Amino acid sequence: GHLPSIDLIGSRTRENGPLRLIYVGNLLPHKGLLPLIKGLSHLSHEIWHLTVVGSLTMDTRYVREIKRLIAQRNLSRQIEIAGPKNGNELANLFLQSHIFVMPYSHEGFGMAYLEAMAFGMPVVGSSDGAVKEFVIPGQNGFLIELDDFESVNACIHSLYYDRHRLLNRSYAAFHTYKKRPKWRDTMETIHRFLAGLVES
């Protein structure tokens, strides 16, 4: 899915209250949720709220560790562990969120990042991996080094207090999505290539 209307970006950005962050990825160590939560815990609680979407059964020990950290740092009001979501449920969460955050995961492509951009969300992603092919720092998001545990908070802090900057980056993220090839385009390209091999 994608934004039904680009006007929703403006109304969402102008809403009072914390920035609604969303993380979409299975709860596995290499996806980097634990360091993200540790970092966010140092931000003022009025600034942010995080929704975590992803499987809770692939590494139950890691999930227990995450829940223990949330309890230890008194973040139960700040973080919602939503579990796996698909279709309309996921689309509704994207519609309500301001920023996609997954800065400590090495991605071979980063489908969830681009899906977030389809809903007008700037991305806080990793500079390590393929996300840097479509996330442009200062325009449609931010790229974070895997060992940088301070810049994420600086990004969120700046967008909370400068909603005009958030608005511009949200528009830029949506336009990035609009310019990317869609599934049909990609599949047609692959089909033409394979059909050409057969014919030759």
| Report field, pTM of the whole predicted structure over 0.85 | yes
User: What six digits make up the tokens of 80?
Assistant: 């919602």
Burial 127-144 (b: 16+ CB within 10 A, else e): bbbebbebbbeeebbbbb
Instruction: Give me the residues of the chain with pLDDT under 70, please.
Output: none
Identify the CA nearest to 168 among candidates 125, 200, 195, 139.
Answer: 139
Please tell me the predicted confidence (pLDDT) of residue 186.
Answer: 81
Please tell me the predicted confidence (pLDDT) of residue 110.
Answer: 81
For residue 159, what are the CA distances in angstroms to 63, 96, 124?
Answer: 29, 16, 12
Please tell me the predicted confidence (pLDDT) of residue 10.
Answer: 95
